[in-house]
Amino acid sequence: MMKFRHMVFAALLALPSLSATAQSSRSDIEINYASPQKYIVGGIGVEGNDYFQASQIVNLSGLQKGMEITVPSDEMSGIIDRIWAQRYFEDVALVVDSLSVAQDTCWLKIIIKEYPRVSKWTYSGIKNSDKKELQERLNLRPGRSFNEYVKMTSVDIIKRYYKEKGFLQCNVDVQTERDSVIRKAIRVNFAIDKGPKIKIRDINFIGNDDVSDFKLARSMKKTKSNKFYNFFSSKKFNEKEYVNDKKSALEKFNEAGYRDARLVRDSVYYVEDNRLAIDLEFDEGKKYYFRNITWTGNSVYTSEALNQILQIKKGDVYDVVTMNKRLYGGGKQGDWDISKLYRDNGYLFFSVTPVEINIQNDSVDVEMRISEGKSATLNNIIINGNDLTSEKVVRRQVFTRPGYLFSQTDFERSIREIASLGQFDPEAITDASTGYSILPNQLNNTVDIVYNVTEKPSSQLELSGGWGGNTFVATAGVSFNNFSTARIRDKSAWRPVPLGDAQNLAFRFQTNGKYYTAISASFVEPWLFGKRPTSLSLSGYYTRMTDSNLTIGILSTDKMYEVYGFNAGIGKRLKWPDNYFVLYNSLSWQTYRLTNWMSGYFMFNDGLSNNFSYQVSLSRNSSDQQIYPRSGSDFSLSLQLTPPYSLFRKHSYDASGNKIAVDNWKDIKYDNWTSQQRYKWIEYHKWKFSGAVYTKLFDNLDFVLMTRAQFGYLGYYNRNWGYSPFEGFLVGGDGMTGYNTYGSDIISLRGYTNYSLTPQELTPYSSNGYSYAGNVYDKFTVELRYPVILQPQSTIFVLGFLEGGNCWSDIRNFNPLQIKRSAGVGVRVFLPMIGLLGVDWGYGFDDSTYGGSQFHFLIGQQF
């Protein structure tokens, strides 16, 4: 130790002088230390080293053979300090081991005592997850030396770790024992007693006459009392966050005009063994108001234009916090501020400084001093981390292009587009510390932007079994969400398929043998020809269902329902009203073939129907990401229609089935028509609307409120012909059948059994005498979401919901207030290889037969 090494050196100073006639050993040496003498170093020896080589210790000392050294001197003390500073040695001494005959050369020896090495570090008294976290923080490895410094810093890190978790009374006992196997090694165990978790019970605010306790309490983001409105917040005490929260509380006084407010006293004390109370005493001071606001240095925008954004008038409360938000940003999303106004026009080097130039009584004059600088041009746009996805996929999503003026809005939009792409971790790209960098160069008025993306698995493999139609259904499917047709000829790209261009290629097959078989394939190119934001989608499918019932051993193909079809569509991003809008156009063809199909789903049992339709939809999606959006909205309005075949007819049928001519389509009576004659070519116009808004409720918590409204209407051209037997709505339940089918839109409404809210109407063509007739529906949902895990490997969030909706057979009966209500809770799990999974419990309030307590399961869909 330090005391020991100076004692050894002092002993050397006390030796009497002696003349040596030959090279003397250490025991024979006498040096006159009252008169320091210079020597040539003849050699350096090392004693006491077990782990370090002698050459390593000599190198640490800085001594070299042949160098000149004065004995005694500060130089020798410095050598000892240099070796000691490495913290590898318990004791260090430097002695003169021998002298030459002429006494002009000395041989030195460094005597050390090494700290013991640790063969194993262990932890006791804590759970395994904490052990792993502490191992990463302490970074203690076997073979490391153990000393008082390592002991003290390790204990401090452990205590700080548990203080962050609210265990303020944590004790750590460092236990050492000799290793019985490894020589001169020890085992070290940290015996940890976390103690009780200390929580805050009360926070008492004193001296706040004009600012309420509630406002002050809400301003403290991480320091929360045990009040009812803090139910979802942690009550643990964190010293670091407490310092920040005291500043936040003072800002509330500044918002109320108390610019001189100060914290007079704060006290943290125990009121119970594991409960704290905090007293915060404030001096509000005088309340101030804005008087005159002037601008200097502004040449790009007039003072009037800047005042319109600042929105502060003479006589307003002197709210410095709000003023700074309107100057520099940090307010609600979408709010304009002065900095963003300039930065959107390239003035990246802009700065504004508010200066109080006059304070008279309770009034303050403020001068806004602006330095506009020159506009900045985008130079390099750098993409990092795209190990699989082609760089062009990322570059076509961003709105920041080399040569353009810098725009804050374009930059933020680029982050949103990358997060919504689906190939990268949305949480990583939106992280300001690691997701991106803005690198300005004021010398040449340019700026580089770096986007650091993190690849995540996006392709999905589905191998599952489910229960549907009272039987077991096997499913096999694969969806390559980052497919690349451009790399098909590249043999090295087949791992297992060529990827990288964000195209989607999917195949799916479902069957349970004789009863049900479905095959589908689809392809989506998000950027047609790779040059424009125009998407191309192609899909084909075939489904067959029979009357076989495997549960009772019936295999039959006498009754059958088949549908096959093809769809092709093109979507284009618009520039007006803004570039969030997408216009989608598609053509589809479907053929329905029913053979003695008595299910009650459709209006007839036998026949063939063709459905040739055109669909146009206008959508606007500004949500910040796909899986767990926190802000933005998603709206869509679509119209699907067929040719009005019945309006061109000039014939009808009599009671004997003979074809007869008519003068006008209005004269046609369809009572004598067979189902095949009436529905060979179906006709309809179908309107659908869906709108969802996502709102983050708290700045410091990821609670998200999702509100959604939906509406659908299946109309007809000719009342005599009536509603289409296909393309209606089946409302109620989980929105799943256990198998894929076509012919109806399945609309979930939790808390009720499947399709139970869909009306049924009489039909002359069905042997059952009735069929589903859901031609109009509405649905309203309010959902509160909270994330449990937001990682590339998995996303898990819980939710609570209120839901209401209904379904009608005719638009004339539609009443948007006549809804069936429900409420419940649920959980969602997104796994990249599988997709979205979830389970909900809902309670339907308005139908005693089909409502009540219901569990719902979902795969790959959102309610």
Residues facing 480 on adjacent strands: 505
Q: Which amino acid is at 503?
A: Q
Q: What confidence tens digit (pLDDT) does each residue in 575-591 have?
A: 899 989 999 999 999 99
Residue 148 CB-density burial (10 A; 0-12 exposed, 13-18 middle, 19+ buried): exposed
CB 20 within 8 A of CB 102: no
**What is the rounded CA–CA span in Å between residue 107 and residue 111?**
13
**Residue 721's pLDDT band (boundaries 50, 70, 90)?**
very high
| Residue whose C-alpha is closest to residue 1's, from 145, 112, 95 | 112
Q: What confidence tens digit (pLDDT) does each residue in 606-628 have?
A: 889 999 999 999 999 999 888 88
Q: What confidence tens digit (pLDDT) does each residue in 535-565 have?
A: 999 999 999 888 755 444 555 667 888 999 9
When pLDDT is averaged across residues 636-660 and rounded to a whole number, the result is: 93
**Residue 471's pLDDT band (boundaries 50, 70, 90)?**
low
**Residue 230's pLDDT band (boundaries 50, 70, 90)?**
confident
Choice between 700 and 505, residue whose per-residue pLDDT is larger: 505
Tell me how far CA of residue 810 lies from CA of 65, 577, 807, in angstroms: 106, 34, 9
Give the model's pLDDT for residue 556.
60
When pLDDT is averaged across residues 188-212 and rounded to a whole number, the result is: 93
Give the model's pLDDT for residue 120.
92
When pLDDT is averaged across residues 137-158 and rounded to a whole number, the result is: 90
Take residue 843 and report the two structure tokens written for it: 């309670």
Number of H helices, E strands in the chain: 14, 38
Q: What is the mean pLDDT of the chain?
A: 87
Choice between 474 and 405, residue whose per-residue pLDDT is larger: 405
- For the CA atoms of 580, 585, 589, 590, the dihedral, rounded to the nearest 10 degrees, stands at 30
Q: Is pLDDT at 861 greater than 60 in this prediction?
A: no
Tell me how far CA of residue 31 lies from CA of 42, 73, 748, in angstroms: 17, 13, 99
When pLDDT is averaged across residues 276-300 and rounded to a whole number, the result is: 95
Give the model's pLDDT for residue 465.
62
Residue 230: CB partners within 8 Å, gap ≥ 6?
Answer: 217, 224
When pLDDT is averaged across residues 453-481 and rounded to a whole number, the result is: 75
Residue 432: CB partners within 8 Å, gap ≥ 6?
Answer: none
Give the model's pLDDT for residue 655.
86
When pLDDT is averaged across residues 48-73 and rounded to a whole number, the result is: 87
Take residue 201 and report the two structure tokens written for it: 């019970």
Q: Is pLDDT at 635 greater than 50 in this prediction?
A: yes
- 562 φψ region: left (φ > 0), alpha (ψ -120 to 50), beta (else): beta
Tell me how far CA of residue 288 lies from CA of 212, 262, 284, in angstroms: 18, 15, 11
Per DSSP, the three-state class of 426 is: helix
**Residue 29's pLDDT band (boundaries 50, 70, 90)?**
low
What separation, in Å, do the N-terminal and C-terminal C-alpha atoms of the chain show?
A: 70
Share above pLDDT 70 across residues of the chain, in percent, rounded to a whole number:
91
Q: What confidence tens digit (pLDDT) does each residue in 785-837 have?
A: 999 988 777 889 999 999 999 999 999 999 998 999 999 999 999 887 667 88
**What is the rounded CA–CA span in Å between residue 238 and residue 165?**
8
Take residue 714 and report the two structure tokens written for it: 């299946």
Q: What confidence tens digit (pLDDT) does each residue in 747-795 have?
A: 999 999 989 999 999 888 877 778 889 999 999 999 999 999 887 778 8
Choice between 358 and 476, residue whose per-residue pLDDT is larger: 358
Angle at the Cα of 636 from the Cα atoms of 751 and 478, rounded to 5 degrees: 70
Q: Is pLDDT at 26 greater than 60 in this prediction?
A: no
Q: Is pLDDT at 331 greater than 70 in this prediction?
A: no
Give the model's pLDDT for residue 739.
45
Give the model's pLDDT for residue 22.
39
